[in-house]
Structure 1
């Protein structure tokens, strides 16, 4: 669970400051519960929702007392996604029950995705409104996580979509070398590009599809791993080739000359990937912010979504989710 204590200001334009931030790991037991919850029956899910809401409240409560936080306008909480089937008009994030207000005795803003799905949207991505209002000086906001995703303005509309897999693939091959991830991209840097594999990766159908579009592990398991594992080459060569592939795909999208590209997510620490991006985007200014912003941008933006909701301002963009109109989403449980 990512937690951040943030102050937002609006004097003509939005600014923010992250004062405290922390990531709290789940116990092994909770990791297993959350992984398996997709298979739970309705009654089991209802019970899990209650116990998870209690867990979340205790984590938030501990964060508040540890940092002696006294000035709190609201706790803005995403919860944990268990089921996401927007095509069937359904999404479930547990931890958003009214019980959380009783336990914390704070104003709560939560459950941000449900309304968008009811309005015919995907319920995602929700981050682009934050890119639009908090990071408007950048031409592109790029997140390098399990997948790379981007948001930018096009003809007056915010556009956002997934570009390619990133750490879902790189971490998997680093695991083969006995490491959780490829630190700074050093293994990839020591490998060589396999041009045939690179060509086949770049020729995958997904990259030619128009946006909006998104990626999941299904794509990685069905398309990426079988292709890469059909090559009997060194793991470092696979890493090197895949980093090149990521850089090419990002450069294809973020192609405006003399642009400013804002980069967050774990991949921002992959120096070799950043180096290859610079190679393909020579006139682009790549901006990598401070550690707090890299690591807590999602927490920051869900806090911001809550602030917008309390003001009844638009916090979900139809141009991004496909909903029937822009709207202000999220449930509010007022402090008693």
Structure 2
């Protein structure tokens, strides 16, 4: 008989390079409805050396990537092991880990998340469910976004679920299907320019707010080819590096003006991405703390009720949902929706390692 209660750890590292999110989560299935409780959580920041490695890794040779994967799996395994020991966590059903995306090229049938080598299970001495994206790409899908099935299962009371991380992604129901896609870069760009001001990030969007809107730059950003594509579609850091940064850098304007204009761009694209401009929208991810960005979104979406949840859900929603994907994989149930990724069929994705 399949269980109805699970204790797992969800692990997520996002493109904004804030660090590794770890959350102990209890799931309960009652009357065919899942509920969750985040009992312990922590974000472990990367060392400056690891931030540089992860930023530069997309340019690594194959041999360098293989070594990086080995080293990162060791790092991630030790972080998870430390989290378990520090919080005296026991009786786990699994650790469900996303790893860290280095290369994401679904158009070439390729995606790479490091930190998903078999030895991770032995390092932490627990069953591990990981590597959730590869199978979807092999089935012709984008391998992203994977969070929407969690939105449907855990957050069905919202019309839209918007995550503002390194990139923004949204999910919603349309004609009986869950659809989802990446909207635009967010913190991959805003943090880059905050770094130029000597800051890790732009607290509450204060520096962006102080800048001026540059209409030429805004119009060029909004005209990018990606925004005209139909979904399913997804973004990787390659897009930011090869397309967005060169476009912004053509403009000799103040850093604050670039940040202000890009914030407006995010808000405009969010408005364009939503099918019905009304209802309730749950916003999570680090960008939810950016007051200026939220204000600009509200300006463009006056009939949307924006809801920012409790801090645990806000900060650890992706770790929470990858934990759910892991539980569904343990149950051999569908955890990736083809309506979202464009794969040939819905499927149960991920690899299970036993220690």
TM-score when normalising by structure 1 = 0.89
Distance 1:104 1:224, change over 3 A: closer
What is residue 8 of structure 2 aligned with on the other side? none
SS at match of 1:189: helix
Asked if the contact 1:255–1:281 (Cα under 8 Å) also holds between the matched residues in 2, the reply is no
Distance 1:84 1:191 in 2: 33
Q: What is the rounded CA distance, in whole Å, between the counterparts of 1:22 and 1:97 in structure 2?
A: 23
For the Cα contact (< 8 Å) 2:142–2:233, is it kept in 1? no
**1:254 — aligned with what?**
274
Residue 200 and residue 114 in structure 1: after superposition, are their counterparts in 2 closer, same or farther (change >3 A)?
closer
The answer to whether 1:103 aligns with 2:148 is: no
Q: Give 1 or 2 for the bigger CA radius of gyration.
A: 1
- TM-score when normalising by structure 2: 0.85
Instruction: Provide the residue aligned with 2:24 in structure 1.
Output: 5
Q: May I ask how many residue pairs the two structures share in their alignment?
A: 334
Of 59, 80, 83, 2:100 maps to 80
Could you say which residue in structure 2 is the equivalent of 1:284? 304
Question: What stretches of structure 2 of length at least 5 have no aligned partner?
Answer: 1-19
The alignment status of 1:134 with 2:154, answered yes or no, reads: yes
Q: Does 1:308 align with 2:322?
A: no
Cα distance in 1 for partners of 2:65, 2:278 equals 50
The answer as to 2:184 corresponding to 1:164 is: yes
Offset of residue 49 of structure 1: 4.1
Go from structure 1 to structure 2 and tell me whether the alpha carbon gap of 1:223 and 1:95 turns closer, same or farther (over 3 Å shift).
closer
Structure 1 gap ranges (5+): none
1:264 Cα deviation (Å)? 1.0
- Between the aligned partners of 1:246 and 1:20, the Cα distance in structure 2 is 32
Residue of 228, 231, 241 corresponding to 2:248: 228
Distance 2:311 2:245 in 1: 31
Change beyond 3 A, Cα 1:197–1:291: same
Deviation per residue, 1:250-296 (Å, 9 max, x gap): 11222524311111111111101111111111111101112222221
- List aligned pairs for 1:50-129, cutoff 5 A: 50-129=70-149
Cα pair distance change 1:178/1:246, threshold 3 Å: same
Residue 295 and residue 194 in structure 1: after superposition, are their counterparts in 2 closer, same or farther (change >3 A)? same
Q: For the structure 1 residues 289 and 99, does the alpha-carbon distance in structure 2 shift closer, same or farther, using more than 3 Å as the test?
A: same
Q: State the shift of 1:220 in Å.
A: 3.1
Matched, 1:297 2:317: yes
Asked if residue 330 in structure 1 is aligned to residue 350 in structure 2, the reply is yes
Corresponding residue to 2:288 among 261, 268, 271: 268
Instruction: Judge which range, 46-55 or 305-314, deviates more.
Output: 46-55
CA deviations over 1:33-76 (Å, ceiling 9, x no partner): 5455552445x655554444333222211111100112311111
Q: Deviations over 1:163-200 (max 9, x none)?
A: 12222222233233332222111122223323333333
Task: Tell me the residue number matched to 1:146.
Answer: 166
Equivalent residue number for residue 205 of structure 1:
225
- Out of 18, 30, 33, the residue aligned to residue 38 of structure 2 is 18
